[in-house]
């Protein structure tokens, strides 16, 4: 994968769910991706805070994208395992996610992310996440009979 912001925006544009949520990449590097999500009423749960699933999805896709920057050509980085810890309620004007690869391997990549709620320029850490990304062929192999 070409590691530049335009290529990462195109990568995110291929995910209908990220498009629906409104998650956008704002920075990319070798093994790192930062994303933002302007918050709207539709992201909230009944308590008025951001739904944990929204934050988890943002962290998951951002970690997968970070792993994709180091994946060999012809392989996708897909989630094999995901763990999230919500540290406090997500409230603010937007979420900011900073994702990075901890260790890239031949078949698995280990990643971490932090999600911050941002309000009037003040950031509060609201979620920590980690994921194991499996590297799989982009085109499935033909089934054997």
Quick one: pLDDT at residue 2? 75
Alpha-carbon separation of residue 108 from 32, 83, 97, 134 (angstroms): 16, 16, 22, 5
Block residue for tokens 């996440």: 129
φ/ψ (deg, to 5) at 12: -65, -35
**Mean of all residue pLDDT scores within the chain:** 95
Quick one: pLDDT at residue 99? 98
Quick one: pLDDT at residue 140? 65
Q: What is the CATH number of domain 5-137?
A: 3.10.129.10
Quick one: pLDDT at residue 86? 97
* Three-class DSSP category at 54: helix
Q: What is the pLDDT of residues 96-124, one digit of tens each?
A: 999 999 999 999 999 999 999 999 999 99
Alpha-carbon separation of residue 41 from 25, 51, 63, 87 (angstroms): 21, 10, 25, 21
Q: What is the pLDDT of residues 34-75, one digit of tens each?
A: 999 999 999 999 999 999 999 999 999 999 999 999 999 999
Terminal CA-CA length for the chain? 33
């Amino acid at each position: 994968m070409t590691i530049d912001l335009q290529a990462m925006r195109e990568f995110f544009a291929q995910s209908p769910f990220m498009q629906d949520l409104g998650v956008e990449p704002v920075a990319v590097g070798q093994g790192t991706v930062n994303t933002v999500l302007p918050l709207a009423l539709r992201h909230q749960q009944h308590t008025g805070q951001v739904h944990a699933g929204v934050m988890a999805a943002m962290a998951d896709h951002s970690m997968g994208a970070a792993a994709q920057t180091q994946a060999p050509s012809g392989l996708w980085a897909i989630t094999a395992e995901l763990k999230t810890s919500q540290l406090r309620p997500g409230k603010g004007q937007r979420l900011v996610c900073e994702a990075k690869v901890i260790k890239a391997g031949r078949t698995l990549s280990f990643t971490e992310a932090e999600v911050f709620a941002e309000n009037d320029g003040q950031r509060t850490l609201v979620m920590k996440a980690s994921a194991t990304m499996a590297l799989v062929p982009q085109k499935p192999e033909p089934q054997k009979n």
